[in-house]
Amino acid sequence: MSWQIKLLDWYEINRRDLPWRKTKDPYPIWLSEIIMQQTRVQQGLPYYHSFVKVYPKIKDLAEATEKEVLKRWEGLGYYSRARNLHATAQFISKEMNGTFPSTFDTIIQLKGIGDYTASAIASIAFGLPHAVVDGNVYRVYSRFYGIDLPINTTPAFKHFKEVAQKALPAEDPGTFNQALMELGALQCTPKNPKCQTCPLLYECKAYAENEVERWPIKTTKTKIKKRYFHYLVFECGDQKKYLQQRQSSGIWHKLYEFPLIERNRTLTSPDQKFLKTIGSYTQSPFEVEPIGSTRWHKLSHQHIEISFWKVKTKPLQFAVFTVKEWKQLPFPIPIAHFLKETRA
């Protein structure tokens, strides 16, 4: 019995019951792949159900506003995924008559879709022989074959893609791709892999050499940048909020936030520079005090310390929103949590 058959037999018994595995419709498969990028299934599943319920067809997603899509995505992170998802739905609806493309070469041309996602959709929805390479596949194959290439390098992707393509069965490649990723997610995990019950135990080089923890190999981690965000919560005796929409191309693009002062350090009390900046926003006297404790928002490439400051005055700039209006806006998750906490 080949190891591929062993893997498929294991998958038949152990696979998780996930809704997008019960269809060949490319739309929910595409939706699930975008939502689950860099996201645990447990976290992403409620978002998947929400999107499928509100936008059951591509045209429904295309007809939504970007603000509505971002609001529904709120809390999931990596918001460029939501913007690309929406833009692609509009493109398919307008330029492709609402029909999802059915070839790898066409799928990969869509905005927000790379080799992995295109391979997953092509193989699962259309049965095309395209191997997937994601974090799970890197880990399984690096251990299975004992591959010493650092997985976070360009040469590694090319090599692993070739390895994966060679191993891919011609029959039902979509199920095999899902089985391989499921093995990585449930069995061949980054820490404490369940080797003793792995269906590929006796073919695995890492296990044979007692070197499971050695693979996969990575180059030095990217240096984490620290940033310090100080949000100004202007209070004028009502429930209205003074907000701005982020326009920079970095994190949280087009999401809404309180007026922001970014500094290079923590502030336990306002200094003269901080007070001067606040003073530039108003012609009236003001009082300022911290709200609660600071909190950290950790991303893969940067850690952001976030502080909120109550400012009792009316600012001269920034858009003002009523309670009904700001409840419909998409916010970065730290601000969404703050709003929820302060309403309680």
**In this structure, is the dihedral angle defined by the CA atoms of residues 255, 115, 131 and 207, taken in order, positive or negative?**
negative
Rounded to whole angstroms, the Cα distance separating 195 from 278 reads 58
CA-nearest of 264, 268, 262, 271 to 244 is 262
Rounded to whole angstroms, the Cα distance separating 276 from 283 reads 12
**Catalytic residue set:** 33
Rounded to whole angstroms, the Cα distance separating 7 from 199 reads 6
What strands lie across the sheet with 287-298, from one edge to the other? Answer: 260-263, 225-235, 302-312, 287-298
3-class DSSP state for residue 313?
A: coil
* Residue whose entry in the numeric block shows the structure tokens 């996602």: 117
Rounded to whole angstroms, the Cα distance separating 105 from 281 reads 52
Q: Which residues sit opposite 242 in a β-bridge? A: 320
DSSP state for residue 100 in the 8-state scheme: P
For the beta carbon of residue 318, count every other beta carbon within 10 angstroms. 15
Q: Which residues, other chains included, contact 175 with Cβ-Cβ below 8 Å and sequence gap of 6+?
A: 8, 11, 124
